[in-house]
Structure 1
């Protein structure tokens, strides 16, 4: 390989070298020829005074910010109040301290002292006054009604023992004032940062800034007390002295006579530097030459494989290769983290769902692979559900939903960690998360411990988030394989929020206060209620109330609510299908879908009862308007009322009623069926035999007398009709149902 890259490197660096050297020479001789002693002294004095003013301005800014924080910051003021505070409250106060600290120049520390509980809260942690390393200074300043302004340098540390305390100057402000003091805020600035700030104003080659306190003691450790020279500035704000030990201007006067000699020396140095630069570049180029040779050989081979000549740009090739390598490394790190989180979530979800079983040894090995603790005496399980999840998904964006779910995970974990308990979890459904808690013998009894954690978590959620959660506590497990039963028990318990209400904690003890429910025993009651609704009988509301009262006394889940609403919708479809086509169309186009969605918007039976009643009242109003608009509805109602009053008349027939209302019997039959959804003869039979069954069971009257009371002159006809309807003669029906009583 030719030396083209060598020469390119050499020619690339040489102009830079000449530019730098020429700039240094120009600046050097310009300063030598133009500087004078008086101007030098005036300039340095101005610099010292400017440094003093800048330092005082920064210190005053810190003091104003501290006073402003005490007056205006509610979180900092809250620290001195007597209100009980949680860990999160201290976190908010500490965060406000850090935010206040970020507004300060210099490297510093800040802490708050509260006299009532003798507690110190610093930006780095919380301390009891007895174990606080800066207690002597704090008590001295606090007992003397606070210090006026900034202190002189002193030793400072936060924790004991600290064998290497740092020197700081401090500012103490009492809260709210010296006469009503409840505590104090202390700001300490490291002297090294002040000195470093001052030295940033001068070049190292021309000296350094010296700083003395009000007693003329040096800020730097190890220096003896000195009297400041003539060239100094004294701060009326802090009482400190500022001066520099710069080179005297007369020395530049002497050097100005040697300018020609310096030119020759500089030229010699440039020649020597060029020679040394060339030699060093040649020596250091050897490894690059080997790399470029390998790159050239690789690109040549690739060019031959693809049949075209590739341009030889070794640096571009190396840059591309390094970028590719770094990208692969970052991708690998991200994939490893994602894979670890995915394996952890998959393991916990399969264990809780019962899709995986693990022995104790396998459990320990799996948790060790995930760098998680495995020890426990018992396992507790809690199933948490976000209440009204459908409204939750409508209210928040997808990203906000993930954030809130993460907050739920973190809050429960932190509450458990406050009790030194390890927790792991898995999302079993989009709205349900299951936590497993590692418990030890000291955590007894089990139920009380788990309920306390759940109640604290529920209280925290109610206080900080605009949502509620319901919790189900499962029975304790003694081993990992048994945790699946505890998980199912917890999921069953949280499902009973349908009867216990949302934003509740449900365990097995609360579950025992309700009887076991039957999803199908309400079928007949729903059928009776919907029939009354179809007939425009006001008793449907009372029947619906009794149904919900019965359901509230039993353990009902969301699934049972869905089955109940499916039954109600099905029965209403059947009953309204007997009415006019207009009413059927109204039901199918609007109300059927409305009733099907009621259960999705209801978390509890109380909510479902309220919404179902409102929907049925709205439908009842629609039916009433439809019926009023139909001219024959009033006639059908009059016929029905007439039948209700004269059902015991043996001569009651379709022809008799048709003559009474001036209609053809076929017309009356069709009108009755269309408006009331039931045939004339079926309604009459049902009404008569309904009264007959009641009299058979509740009275001792002879069957002949009962037959006459319901419109039958001949007991044989009554006997035959009764048996046809109920598959039993009247006497056996009475015997059977009286024995049941």
Structure 2
């Protein structure tokens, strides 16, 4: 029996050993030969396909954005009233046209955040107006670039170049679009759009992981638009495309691509290692089989007694094919794993954001069925009866960024978004939120109820509670702008624009508030141009250092506070104040101009940009103006004969009709040399005595010609001219037409 048992044991041992050998060769050969071969090929194909898609996606994203800007510029050239007024304007100092043009530039920058700066060049007078300054072409810092495209504009975006808004500020790397006005002839001027290459880099930064992949973008001249962060020694390029729109080239690959390529090419090494493992495995199998054949026999016995719902291919001669069973199970697991991996390769977050931006920007246009289909795939709310767009903006975002680290900012923004979603659930509101900028969270509320007033009240209550909760529980506040309900798909973008417009009135209505577009429409908006004369009066009093300029300044802001202006309109008014002040300072003296350029202008601009409310803007700007007035007053007292010149001006304004008014007359009245009087008058007023006197006389003459029936000789006598011929010659030189023609022209204008 003992010998028989030993014989049976040896028989089982041999059977076990022989049964393992085929599996060993199949599995080991498959794993060590095929696995690395397939892995190498699969990695190569996946890397190639992934990088092709990465390059294509980056190219399409950048081309789409640049085309949108290009199309917008073409439409504005054809349709925009402010643009046509600027290029058709005959006067450089037309404040209304210039302010409207600057406002339009800022609207374009707001609508297309990729735009870094804009400036317009008018051929007629070589005048250049940008969103930040205005100059003549011969002194403009970008003169060389403009001269290159003066006669013929480029049909595409330019190569990368350095652009400076101001000589004291370092330039930015930009690409530019130059379009002529009008669109066909280009005879009136140029529009130059500058897009920062850093903005383009940030736009495609989310498409890839810089630790794994890289994207190189080069312009038509081969200059790299972005600074390369990857190591060029180990990087390997897998794809290369050239844009048919911009002629830019796009390359992408793996940061450690050469290492992967080296590993995949070591087939001989894998072959040797595979054979070595076979030998080692065979020896190890003998040792393990001798030690563990009895437990394995028990396991096989249990498997034989277990009935499985298997297909006929797994049963041979009434016995379960264990190895086929294991192989089938592995294949099922691998298939499920591949399906799961394929599903997660799709970037759901990117698709969700893209769909959201397509809805709010209305480009390209979606159909309702397309939206429903995409919403089902992304597990988003389906379109409802009405959609309400709201923008939640973090107040004083600059202070928010300075106060918190980047990690804390991410956590706080996540908390804000989660709070909005949780409170929407409490109010039984369906909500979709996406960050549209660093400081703005956009929310789309889906209203289902047929009762519009009830839904409007529910939506308003939701955002009021959100604002209140953030104020009580967070260390920052928010302001919420709500647009009109969108009943149709195409109205969603208009609702978003309404919400953006509502937030512009935050400077008037204050931070930590909820502003609805309905609230703005129900309030009468103030006229911007009604304040221009008040600004000029303030500047004139300030220039003369009169004490009442402070009261006039406070009265201006009181008038602004009584109306409802948005931030852009207020900033335009303050820019006009800076413009007029700068012109007057230049006319006072060289010292006053230097004081203004070095201190006053820069501080005023900074106060305007940093102000979050109208009251803060009033206090900060008045403080700067008061300091500037004190400095001017001190400089004024240091100069000789200032009061004398002031008395001279007063005397001229009172006795301009005196035919004997001259430098000799003034020298006799004030006991000074005539040449010295002329020099002092020029230094203190910025005008020659003759020009100052003629200006007063001609303004009075124009008034008499349009409001009285006096003859030309009588008008000449009343403004200080003894000869009507001399008066007519001077009047025509100033007005461009004779006094009689001026009166006739004025009569025709009055009669309509």
Classify the TM-score, shorter chain. Answer: 0.5 to 0.7
Q: Residue in 1 aligned with 2:607?
A: 598
Which residue of structure 2 aligns with residue 387 of structure 1?
Answer: 395
For 1:514 and 1:728, the matched residues in 2 are separated by: 48
Q: Among 479, 483, 488, which residue is 1:474 paired with?
A: 483
Partner of residue 618, structure 2: 609
For 1:316 and 1:551, locate their aligned partners in 2 and report how far apart those are by CA, in whole Å.
90
Q: Distance in 1 between matches of 2:662 and 2:631?
A: 32
Partner residue of 1:678 out of 664, 683, 687? 687
1:641-680 equivalences under 5 Å are: 641-643=650-652, 647=656, 649-680=658-689
Deviations 1:420-460 (Å, cap 9, x if unpaired)? Answer: 21111233333223211011216641432232222111111
Q: CA deviation at 1:351?
A: 0.6
Q: Distance in 1 between matches of 2:710 and 2:554?
A: 34
Equivalent of 1:345, from 353, 371, 374? 353
Q: Report the equivalent of 1:621.
A: 630
Q: Is the 8 A contact 2:390 2:483 kept in 1?
A: yes
Q: Report if aligned partners of 2:389, 2:496 keep a CA contact under 8 Å in 1.
A: yes
Distance 2:503 2:747 in 1: 43
Distance 1:400 1:561, change over 3 A: farther
Q: Secondary structure at the match of 2:587?
A: coil
Shift in Å, 1:385: 2.2
- Contact in 2 for aligned 1:696/1:734 (Cα 8 Å): no
- Tell me how far apart the structure 1 counterparts of residues 439 and 268 of structure 2 sit (CA, whole Å): 57
TM-aligned CA distance change 1:631 to 1:559, over 3 Å: same
Q: Secondary structure at the match of 1:436?
A: strand
Structure 2 CA distance for partners of 1:284 and 1:521, relative to 1, 3 Å: farther
Look up the SS of the partner of 2:588 in the other structure.
Answer: coil
CA-to-partner distance for each residue in 1:41-78, whole Å, 9 max, x for gaps? xxxxxxxxxxxxxxxxxxxxxxxxxxxxxxxxxxxxxx
CA RMSD of aligned residues (A): 4.9
Secondary structure of 1:615's match? helix
Structure 1 residue 340: Cα displacement: 0.7
Cα deviation digits, residues 659-692 of structure 1 (max 9, x gap): 3444332322222222232332333445566677
Q: Distance in 2 between matches of 1:662 and 1:292?
A: 117
Q: Which residue of 1 aligns with 2:183?
A: none
- Mapping 1:711-722, distance limit 5 Å: none
1:565-621 deviations in Å (ceiling 9; x for gaps): 332222222221123222222222333222333332123433333332222222112
Is residue 443–residue 449 contact of structure 1 (8 Å, CA) maintained in 2?
no
Q: Give the counterpart of 1:533 among 538, 542, 563.
A: 542
Once the 2 structures are TM-superposed, how far is the Cα of residue 408 of structure 1 from its aligned partner?
A: 2.3
Structure 2 distance, partners of 1:694, 1:547, is 28
> Of the candidates 461, 464, 483, which is equivalent to residue 455 of structure 1?
464
Shift in Å at residue 376 of structure 1? 2.2
Work out the CA distance in 1 between the residues paired with 2:403 and 2:696.
Answer: 52
Taking a change above 3 Å as real, the CA distance of residues 345 and 537 of structure 1, as seen in their structure-2 partners, is same
Partner of 1:412: 420
Aligned length: 461
Deviation at 1:366, TM superposition (A): 0.9
What residue is the counterpart of 2:373 in the other structure?
A: 365
| 1:300/1:309 contact within 8 Å kept | no
Distance 2:501 2:665 in 1: 60
Counterparts of 1:92-491 in structure 2, within 5 Å, are 291-295=27-31, 297=33, 305=268, 310=273, 312=276, 336=344, 339-374=347-382, 376-441=384-449, 444-445=452-453, 446-491=455-500
CA 1:688/1:522 → structure 2, altered by over 3 Å: closer, same or farther?
A: same
Q: Compute the displacement of 1:701 (Å).
A: 11
Query: Does the 8 A contact of 2:608 with 2:621 survive in 1?
Result: no
Farther off after superposition, 623-632 or 488-497:
623-632
Q: What SS class does the counterpart of residue 481 from structure 2 fall into?
A: strand
User: Could you report, residue by residue, the CA deviation over 1:9-55 in whole angstroms, capped at 9, with x for unpaired residues?
Assistant: xxxxxxxxxxxxxxxxxxxxxxxxxxxxxxxxxxxxxxxxxxxxxxx
Whichever of the two has the greater Rg, that structure is 1
Deviations 1:221-245 (A, max 9, x none): xxxxxxxxxxxxxxxxxxxxxxxxx
Pairwise CA distance, 1:537: 3.3
CA 1:389 to 1:360, structure 2 compared with 1: closer, same or farther past 3 Å? same
Question: Conserved in 2, the CA contact under 8 Å of 1:295 and 1:314?
Answer: no
Distance 1:481 1:739 in 2: 47
Superposed displacement of residue 370, structure 1: 0.9
- Helix, strand or coil: the match of 2:444? strand
Residue 646 to residue 279, structure 1, CA distance change in 2 (3 Å): farther
Deviation at 1:694, TM superposition (A): 8.0
CA deviations on 1:503-560 (whole Å, 9 max, x unpaired) are 2222233213444455556555544433432233344444444544554455422222
Matched, 1:637 2:646: yes
8 Å Cα contact 1:595-1:615 kept in structure 2: yes
Distance 1:299 1:515 in 2: 75
Distance (Å, rounded) in 1 between the aligned partners of 2:34 and 2:353: 45
* Separation in 2, partners of 1:509, 1:651: 65
Greater shift after overlay, 484-493 or 300-309?
300-309
Counterpart residue number, 1:560: 569
Compared CA separation, residues 606 and 708, structure 1 to 2 (3 A): farther
Task: Provide closer, same or farther for how the CA distance between residues 617 and 687 of structure 1 changes in structure 2, counting only shifts above 3 A.
Answer: farther
Pair 1:645–1:434, CA change in 2 (3 A):
same
Structure 2 unmatched ranges of 5 or more: 1-8, 38-264, 282-329
- 1:458 & 1:282 partners in 2: Cα distance? 75
Could you tell which deviates more after superposition, 395-404 or 458-467? 395-404
Residue number in structure 1 paired with 2:305: none
684 and 338 in structure 1: CA distance in 2 versus 1, 3 angstrom threshold? farther
Distance 1:704 1:595 in 2: 49
Cα 1:660–1:371 change in 2 (3 A) is same
2:701, 2:716 within 8 Å by CA — same for their partners in 1?
yes
**TM-aligned CA deviation for residue 386 of structure 1:** 2.3
**For 1:512, which of 511, 517, 521 is the aligned residue?**
521
Shift of 1:378: 1.6
Alpha-carbon distance between aligned partners in 2 of 1:692 and 1:316, rounded to the nearest angstrom: 115
Q: Distance in 2 between matches of 1:673 and 1:612?
A: 30
- Does the 8 Å contact 2:371/2:383 carry over to 1? no
Tell me the alpha carbon deviations over residues 470-528 of structure 1, each in whole angstroms, 9 at most, x when there is no partner.
22221112233321121112222222223333322222332134444555565555444
State the Cα deviation string for residues 117-159 of structure 1 (Å, max 9, x = none): xxxxxxxxxxxxxxxxxxxxxxxxxxxxxxxxxxxxxxxxxxx
Q: Deviations over 1:622-646 (max 9, x none)?
A: 2122222333544433433444565
Query: Match of 2:436, SS?
Result: strand
